[in-house]
Amino acid sequence: MDNRMKTVLSFCLLLPLCLLTACPPDVPPPKDDEKEQPEPDPDPLPSADAGNTEPTQSVDAGGDPSPVTADAGTPTTPDTEDAGTAASPVTDDAGTAAPPVTEDAGTAAPPVTDDAGTTAPPVTEDAGTSIGPGSEDAGTTVANEPADAGVTDLAEEDAGTPTCPNGTTGDGIDCTDINECNDNNGGCYANASCTNAAVSGDAPSCECNAGYEGNGQECTDIDECATNNGGCPSNATCTDADTAGVAPLCTCNTGYTEDIMGNCKPDALDWDVEYTDTNHSIFILNTALDGIAQVEAGDYIGVFYARENHFLGCGAFTEWNGETTMLAAQGEELGDVENDGGVAAGVVAGGFEVGEEFHWVFWDASSGNTFSLIPIFDATSPNGNSFVPNGISQVVGFESPNPGWIAEITDNNHSVFIKDTAFDNWPEIKPGDYVGVFFEDSSSEPQCGGLVKWEGAFTQIPAYGAEGTGIVEGFAVGETFQWRVWDASANAFHEATATYAAAGQDVYAPNGLSFVDELVATP
């Protein structure tokens, strides 16, 4: 038998013997009083779970270690040691201490179940850290250390209930602006309007309603009649309305009647206008009547056209108040054209014909008299003193008309002075009228030998005598003065009789001197 065969046979014989010696026979467990009690540890090592004392593990003789029992008696898996905490040694049935357990690098120990039944996260040991009796691993960081029984691992801070910013409302997540105007009109006055602020939380703005004034928190009724007569025309009385914001009531004063244009026209003024489908605008500047003494505020200005009966018809009028104003001169309105002949059906409303001149008349409200003035138009005015449909004219001034009297100036004259009281008994003659002295020409016709514009003050007229033999006609020596007075308001002249300061002053003398005390209309 060779050596290899001997080896195989020896192995086969020894194998059963080894199996018999490795497995002990069944031995019944000892009775309770026969169980070997562990000797008390004179100096027990600290427990792994801070704040909890765990009993040391005991192992039955010849058996597996029994599970560790927690505070509440709940079985746990093998202990996981806290970082740096010494673990208690395991004692076997012979009382011999087991060598310390070395944890693998980065290996997580099995989780420990606390007394509340909650499984704590595993503890991870540092690489190569040994846990032995009574020793700590200084500087080792342990994550997720198990908490005491009944303690939450991570504290949760209570963030509170979310709220909306000032001036908004909602659940703290969805917030909408509060319209303060919806509550008590935002604190505004009852007769004021409230406007919500653009920025939430800001106070709303308040504004008094029409017809009221104030800061919006306090509003008072406005008396519209206190300003510009409430918009009422002149010669009218303004009455403030009972309801704020309502236009005041305008009532024409006694002696005035409201016309179609809403103006209060004097009953004594008999000017009436027919309003037609065409007109010409005439603007009168506020300075146009400066220097015209006979026109005052409250007087009336009108433009007139010639009617077929040779009377004048009023095409427009307005009250003069010293401000720039406008006259809308009405044009003649014709009827429809007849189908059979193509002839105009006739004049529907009277007015200016195209190209017709404006006749200017002024009405003195204080006396009721009328007079004429000559307009001066702006050189750049599109139209002048004649009617054009939809035309525009601008008057920059007026001058008193003169009677057309012209006196030839010669080489000799006679000075005639007229006292300022000369027309006291002739009230129709006013400043702006004219006074002329006349002689008879070669044809025995009256000819003006001198004139002056009456201004209501002491004045002088130079009366011119004839020059040479028939070269220039004028007063002959010893010729009697003839007087005429031209009334501008009536656009007519009157024969007049003069009263002199002394006898013999009523005839011409070269370089002569006369004084007129009074002039009256010749009967």
Q: What is the DSSP string of 143-157?
A: SSPPPPTT--SS---
Return the pLDDT at 392. Answer: 97
**Between vectors from CA 365 to CA 360 and to CA 370, what angle results, nearest 5°?**
35
Return the pLDDT at 28. Answer: 53
Return the pLDDT at 469. Answer: 75
Q: In whole angstroms, how far apart are CA 137 and each of 43, 78, 129, 157? A: 21, 20, 7, 33
Q: In whole angstroms, how far apart are CA 217 and each of 179, 188, 195, 212? A: 17, 5, 13, 12
Would you state the structure tokens that stand for residue 353, as one six-digit string?
Answer: 């014909």
* Euclidean distance between the first and the last CA atom of the chain, given in angstroms as a whole number: 200
Give the residue from 70, 69, 55 showing the smallest Cα distance to 115: 70
Q: How far apart are CA 430 and CA 455, in angstroms?
A: 8
**Between vectors from CA 192 to CA 216 and to CA 248, what angle results, nearest 5°?**
110
Class of domain 168-221: mainly beta
What residues contact residue 324 under an 8 Å CB cut-off, 6+ apart? 283, 284, 285, 286
Give the residue from 455, 454, 269 showing the smallest Cα distance to 368: 269
CA 499 to chain centre: 73
Which DSSP symbol is given to 459? E
- E strand or H helix that includes residue 460: strand 459-464
Return the pLDDT at 162. Answer: 86
- Give the CA count within 13 Å in the CB-facing half-sphere of 30: 10
Q: How far apart are CA 316 and CA 330, in angstroms?
A: 7
**Cβ-contact 516, 497 below 8 angstroms:** no
Q: How far apart are CA 61 and CA 38, in angstroms?
A: 11
Q: How far apart are CA 474 and CA 350, in angstroms?
A: 48
CB neighbourhood size of 329 (10 A):
26
**Cβ-contact 514, 500 below 8 angstroms:** yes
**Between vectors from CA 474 to CA 472 and to CA 477, what angle results, nearest 5°?**
125
Return the pLDDT at 48. Answer: 40
Q: How far apart are CA 488 and CA 292, in angstroms?
A: 12
CB neighbourhood size of 111 (10 A):
17
Q: In whole angstroms, how far apart are CA 444 and each of 198, 403, 441, 472, 483? A: 95, 20, 5, 15, 16
Would you state the structure tokens that stand for residue 472, as one six-digit string?
Answer: 């220039």
In the chain, which stretches have pLDDT less than 70? 1-159, 309-310, 335-348, 470
Q: How far apart are CA 257 and CA 105, in angstroms?
A: 119
CB neighbourhood size of 344 (10 A):
12
Give the pLDDT confidence of 291-329 residue by residue, as tens digits.
888 899 999 999 999 887 667 899 999 999 999 999 999
Return the pLDDT at 26. Answer: 52
Q: Where are the domains of the chain?
A: 30-149, 168-221, 269-399, 413-521
Q: How far apart are CA 309 and CA 367, in angstroms?
A: 28
CATH of domain 269-399: 2.60.40
Length of the chain in residues, anyone? 523
Which DSSP symbol is given to 8? H
Q: Where are the beta strands (DSSP E) in 209-278?
A: 212-214, 219-221, 236-239, 249-252, 256-258, 264-266
Give the pLDDT confidence of 38-88 residue by residue, as tens digits.
555 545 444 444 444 444 444 444 444 444 443 444 444 444 444 444 444
Q: How far apart are CA 372 and CA 385, in angstroms?
A: 14
**Cβ-contact 501, 517 below 8 angstroms:** yes
Return the pLDDT at 57. Answer: 45
Return the pLDDT at 492. Answer: 85
Q: How far apart are CA 54 and CA 71, in angstroms?
A: 8
Return the pLDDT at 244. Answer: 77
Question: What is the radius of gyration, based on Cα positions, of the chain?
Answer: 66
